């Protein structure tokens, strides 16, 4: 039963939104990169070429998933507008995994720890279900839109409202003449 659900999810969630079919960029010192490579222990719930989903080692409720892109990507503060599809895809995968477990999004807390309050410098989305069974400390640790935890929706709004990447501008230096400069 679980195998057929996983096969169905693999087909449904097939994508190259993160890797674009290129080789993964990993950080040898990152614990999440080690989990992705199978070099560190974790209960993997789902893995494809783009993301890996596993349980948080300190669950805040019955189901506490971490959804991480397989390419090493910095913390949430470093995410740029062009990364919007990655963040949306992470949420889509997490939502589908939780739905197969009977979860509803109305009772799920989804978000990111905001630097400097994150412990791993690899982008990861927390999806916690059921939200109404979170204990007092978990509710504080994952407090919505606080200085230390921002919701998925807040992050999406932030990314959508970012300016587009600046185009190269021409500058002139005495030694090199006119050259392209990116900011």
Query: How far is the C-alpha of 129 from the C-alpha of 137, rounded, in Å?
Result: 15
Q: What is the mean pLDDT of the chain?
A: 87
Phi/psi for 90 (5° steps) reads: -55, -45
**Annotated catalytic residue within 64, 73, 122, 124:** 124
Say if pTM beats, i.e. exceeds, 0.85: no
Helical (H) or strand (E) element with 53: strand 51-55
Q: Residue 65 is encoded by which pair of tokens?
A: 């998933």
Q: Which range, of 8-17, 20-29, 104-113, 125-134, averages the lowest pLDDT?
A: 8-17
61 alpha carbon, distance to own chain's centre: 19
Q: Is 113 a catalytic residue?
A: no
Question: CB–CB of 84/18 below 8 Å?
Answer: no
Greatest distance between any 2 Cα atoms in the chain? 70
Q: Is the pLDDT of residue 176 over 60?
A: no
């Amino acid at each position: 039963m679980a195998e057929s659900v996983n096969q169905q999810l693999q087909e449904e969630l097939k994508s190259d939104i993160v890797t674009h079919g290129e080789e993964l960029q990993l950080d040898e010192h990152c614990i999440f990169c080690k989990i992705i490579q199978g070099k560190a222990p974790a209960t993997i719930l789902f893995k494809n070429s783009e993301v890996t989903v596993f349980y948080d080692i300190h669950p805040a409720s019955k189901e506490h998933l971490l959804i991480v892109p397989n390419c090493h990507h910095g913390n949430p503060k470093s995410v740029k507008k062009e990364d919007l599809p990655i963040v949306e895809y992470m949420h889509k995968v997490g939502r589908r995994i939780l739905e197969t477990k009977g979860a509803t999004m109305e009772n799920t807390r989804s978000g990111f720890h905001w630097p400097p309050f994150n412990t791993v410098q690899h982008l990861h989305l927390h999806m916690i279900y059921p939200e109404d069974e979170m204990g007092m400390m978990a509710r504080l640790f994952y407090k919505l839109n606080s200085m230390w935890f921002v919701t998925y929706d807040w992050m999406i709004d932030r990314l959508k409202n970012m300016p587009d990447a600046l185009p190269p501008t021409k500058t002139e230096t005495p030694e090199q003449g006119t050259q392209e400069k990116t900011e």
